[in-house]
Structure 1
Amino acid sequence: MTQTAKMPSWLNVSAERVVVQLSKASEANGMQVDSLSLRAPTVRDIRTAQSAASGDDEQRELNLFASLAEVGVKDLEGLSLKDYGRLQAGYFRLVQDDEL
C-alpha cells in the first residue's frame, strides 16, 4: 500500500522552486522576511557549494542553500533551528524524484 506524504501547510513546492513559510520573521539581505524561496539546484550549484566548503558538510549545505535562496550564509545562520529544519525539508522535497 502506498501512502502519500501530506504537504505541510508552511511549504509550497513546484517543479522549479520551493517556498518555505518561516515560523517567525528573520533578516535576509537586510530586510525582515517571513518566507524564503529556494530555486531548484543545478549540478553546477552542488559542485560550487562543495568546492567552497573544503570537505565540511555543514558548510556545503549552508553554501548551497544560501546560493539557492539568494541570501547570505550569515542570514541562514540567523534562522531559528526550527526554520532551518523547514528549509532542509523543503529542499529535499524539491529534489526528490516524483516516482519515489
Structure 2
Amino acid sequence: MNETIKLSTPVTINGLPTNQVVLREPTVGDQLDARQLAGNDDAKFEMTMLANMAGCAPDDLRQVTLRDYGKLQKAYLRLSAEEPAADGKQSAVVGVVTPAG
C-alpha cells in the first residue's frame, strides 16, 4: 500500500524537484533499521522511518515545511495502523495467556 502526499511547498528529493512524496507501507525491517540508527532519539527515528518509506535520504526531508511534515506524519500513522474490518469496526486481538510452569 502506498500513499501520495501533496506538498504545499516543493522540495528536492533524490536530486529532483517535486511537489509530492510517495510513502510506502512501513516494514519491520524499516523499524529495526531506524531504531538502530536513531538510538533513543525519537525525532531521528521518525525522520529515518519516513525517509525509508519515501525512498530518500533523511536530509532530503529536512527541507520539508512543518505543515507538510505534519501531512507526512499523518500518512505514516495511517499506513502503519491496523486496517478496520469490513464492517468498519476495529478487529479485536484475542490472546490466551497460560501460566508458566
Distance in structure 2 (CA, Å) of the matches to 1:63 and 1:96: 18
Gapped regions of structure 1 (runs ≥ 5): 1-15
- Percentage of pairs with the same residue: 33
TM-score by length of structure 2 reads 0.80
Map 1:46-85 → 2, pairs under 5 A:
46-85=31-70
TM-score by length of structure 1 reads 0.80
Map 1:1-100 → 2, pairs under 5 A:
16-99=1-84, 100=90
Please tell me whether Structure 1 or Structure 2 has the larger radius of gyration of its CA atoms.
Answer: 2
Could you list the runs of 4 or more consecutive aligned residues of structure 1 that deviate by over 4 angstroms after TM superposition? none
Structure 1 vs Structure 2 CA RMSD = 0.9
Gapped regions of structure 2 (runs ≥ 5): 85-89, 91-101
Distance in structure 1 (CA, Å) of the matches to 2:59 and 2:27: 22
Q: Which residue identity lines up with residue 80 of structure 1 in the other structure? A: T
Give the C-alpha shift of residue 74 in structure 1.
Answer: 1.0
